[in-house]
Chains A and B, each alone.
Chain A
Amino acid sequence: KNEVEQSPQNLTAQEGEFITINCSYSVGISALHWLQQHPGGGIVSLFMLSSGKKKHGRLIATINIQEKHSSLHITASHPRDSAVYICAVPSLDSNYQLIWGAGTKLIIKP
Chain B
Amino acid sequence: EAQVTQNPRYLITVTGKKLTVTCSQNMNHEYMSWYRQDPGLGLRQIYYSMNVEVTDKGDVPEGYKVSRKEKRNFPLILESPSPNQTSLYFCATTAGGHGEQFFGPGTRLTVL
Q: List residues of A whose CB falls within 8 A of some B CB.
A: 30-31, 33, 35, 41-45, 48, 86, 88, 90, 94-98, 100-103
Interface residues of B in 61-106 (CB under 8 A from A): 88, 90, 92, 97-103, 105-106
Known: A43-B103, A45-B102. 4 other contacts (CB 8 A): A42-B105, A48-B100, A96-B31, A96-B33
Nearest to B9 among chain A residues (CB) is A41
Residues of chain B within 8 A (CB-CB) of A44 are 103
Does A30 lie within 8 Å of B90, measured CB to CB?
no
Does A45 lie within 8 Å of B58, measured CB to CB?
no
Tell me the total A-B contact number using a CB cutoff of 8 A.
52
Does A86 lie within 8 Å of B48, measured CB to CB?
no
Q: List residues of B whose CB falls within 8 A of some A CB.
A: 31, 33, 40-45, 48, 50, 56, 58, 88, 90, 92, 97-103, 105-106, 108
Other-chain contact of B101, A41, A95, A98, A102 (Cβ < 8 Å)? A98
Does A101 lie within 8 Å of B100, measured CB to CB?
no
Does A94 lie within 8 Å of B42, measured CB to CB?
no
Given contacts A41-B88, A41-B105, A41-B108, contact A100 B99 (CB under 8 A): no
Residues of chain A within 8 A (CB-CB) of B102 are 45
Interface centre among A33, A43, A48, A90 (most CB of B within 10 A): A43
Does B98 lie within 8 Å of A95, measured CB to CB?
yes
Does B100 lie within 8 Å of A45, measured CB to CB?
yes
29 A-B pairs (CB sep. < 8 Å): A30-B98, A31-B98, A33-B100, A33-B101, A41-B105, A41-B108, A42-B103, A42-B105, A43-B90, A43-B92, A43-B103, A45-B100, A45-B101, A45-B102, A48-B100, A86-B42, A88-B101, A90-B97, A94-B97, A95-B98, A96-B31, A96-B97, A96-B98, A97-B45, A97-B48, A97-B97, A98-B101, A100-B43, A100-B44
